[in-house]
Amino acid sequence: MLPSTRNLFDQYNHPENRLTHALISSIASDPVLLDKFIRWSTGEKHRSSQLHVVEQTLPGDEEPHDEDEAERKGLPDGWIYDTGGWSLVIESKIKSPLNRDQLERHRRTAEKRGFTHIHLLALVVDPPKAESLSGIPVTVRKWTELYGWLLQEKQSDWARRLTSYMAVLEQKLVRGHYLQEGTLTLFAGIPFGKDEPYNYHEAKRLLRLALDELRKRADLKDELGMDPESKGRSAITGRESTTVWDFLRLAQARGEHTEFPHLTLSIGEEQLQATVTVPNGIRRQFRVNLLSGGRDQFCALFRKLLYNFNTSLKGVNGAAPWVEVFQRRYPTQRSEPIIDARIQFDLRTAFEEHKGVGTSVKQQQQWLEATYDALAQKTSNLQLGVGAIFRNEHCPDVNTPEILNHVANIWLGCKPLIETLSGEKN
């Protein structure tokens, strides 16, 4: 096996070349990972000791002086081969589309070099339509598929280095607006805690991945009317803050999102939070629907919500059903708000009979009553949020993809609130 001698990180200017270099360097440095990569990409078994691995060049040729020369020559991004006529040609794309002519040229080049058993692998962000590549024997895989496969290779240090680099590169490409649609990685949990400090840019990346996954959920669309095609915040700010947040719209919210409830997810230094947000500017009829039944009906609604949350959170350590009310103001349109008042509480404080199994939460129903009073006698900018928090240090599921199931279940548990606001049910 002929390993790459270049440094793993950022040896190239073009993002596609950086990512391919990281991949080629990793599999060339780990024979076991290379064997598995061949099986993953071709379905065939091949002994790594018989293989040569090169990038931005052709078998037997000298490497180009720079990546621009390689681009001009139209060289494959990676090439794995043996001396018996077997080869795997790799073409990688991030922003640019997959080019049919380019793939055909790679195959003809391999044939001219005497290879008789040729595989083509294209790694892309967004796969093209199948008919655009009709007749070309190419395997098209998404970078996210590669990332997910690498996460399973827990015994390989090089697999871990590669997934870490993919996350760092994705963060850079999003910040630089190079990667505006799609992703390179998958949501694999929130890592923040005592061993990994909160990082604003990483939190933004994870938030984007999490919401992309949640948009795919049919239950949120069918039960709550979540609009999978809609976008949340136009720009996520808060570099100096210790939390980032975004939201999913409901299909009924065709106007300004501040007029409708929405599904909010925030990733913070200490916790992940999933709530249905009832904004200050919500339509008047929604507010009437929520409060017109008086204190008793308001409390009955929250009793129902707590029942749903307790059911959803059963067995989930470090989670708590949560209610918060903020009175705030904004010095400028894009600035962080000034909080003038805040009520935050565990909803189990409101109902002794529903405090949850195995908890030591004490009843203090006045917190819920204060929430009703503030909303019913509103004279300021008030926002209500209802859902759950998952504390990073105490909820192991926060570090896994499973946390998104809990997030979705909390939002689904808020269905009675959304129906009450919209007037669908009383």
**Residue 90's CATH number:** 3.40.1350
pLDDT attached to residue 379: 92
- State the Cα–Cα distance between residues 416 and 423, nearest whole angstrom: 10
Residue 3 lies in a domain: no
Full strand arrangement of the beta sheet holding 271-278: 243-248, 262-268, 271-278, 382-391, 319-329, 338-346
Domain boundary among 141, 175, 209: 175
186 domain-assigned: no
Same-domain status, 77 and 134? yes
Output the pLDDT for position 10: 57
In a domain, 320, yes or no: yes
Q: What are the angstrom distances between the C-alpha of 208 and each of 15, 123, 179, 248?
A: 20, 21, 12, 11
Do 151 and 77 lie in one domain? The reply is yes
Q: Last residue of a domain, which of 175, 190, 210?
A: 175
Q: Is residue 128 part of a domain?
A: yes
Residue 367's domain comprises 200-422
CA distance 346 to 25: 50
pLDDT of residue 383: 95
Q: 52, exposed or middle or buried, with CB in 10 Å at 0-12, 13-18, 19+?
A: middle
Q: Residue 151 falls within a domain, yes or no? A: yes
Q: Residue 190: CA atoms inside 13 Å, Cβ hemisphere, count?
A: 36
Token pair for residue 225?
A: 């009317």
Sign of the CA dihedral with 205 first, then 211, 217, and 218 last: negative
Predicted local confidence at residue 5, as pLDDT: 41
Q: What are phi and psi of 69, to 5 degrees?
A: -65, -40
Strands 86-92, 138-142: parallel, antiparallel or unpaired by DSSP?
A: unpaired
Cβ count within 10 A of residue 217: 20
Residue 208 and residue 171 share a domain: no
155 and 236 share one domain: no
Are the CB atoms for 161 and 26 separated by under 8 Å? yes
User: DSSP for 256-316?
Assistant: -GGGS-EEEEEEESSEEEEEEEE-TT--HHHHHHHHTTHHHHHHHHHHHHHHHHHHHTTT-
Q: Are residues 156 and 249 in the same domain?
A: no
CA distances from 91 to 100, 103, 122, 302 (A): 11, 8, 5, 55
End residue of a domain, out of 158, 175, 192: 175
CATH number of the domain residue 265 falls in = 3.30.930
Looking up tokens 């599904």 gives 263
Amino acid identity for residue 100 in this structure:
R
Query: 87: burial class by Cβ within 10 Å (0-12, 13-18, 19+)?
Result: buried
3-state secondary structure of 244: strand
**Do 138 and 232 fall into the same domain?**
no
pLDDT at 399: 95
Residue 187 resides in a domain: no
Q: For residue 59, is it within any domain?
A: yes
Q: What's the pLDDT score for residue 4?
A: 42
Per-residue pLDDT at 61: 64
Which helix (DSSP H) or strand (DSSP E) does residue 230 occupy? none
Mean pLDDT by 10 residues, the chain (426 residues): 46 82 93 95 83 83 54 76 92 90 91 92 91 86 96 95 93 87 92 90 93 96 93 71 92 81 96 96 93 95 96 93 93 80 95 66 94 94 96 95 97 97 76
- Name the domain count of the chain: 2
155 and 233 share a domain? no
Task: Report yes or no on whether pTM surpasses 0.75.
Answer: yes
Does a structural domain hold residue 191? no
Residues 78 and 220 in one domain: no
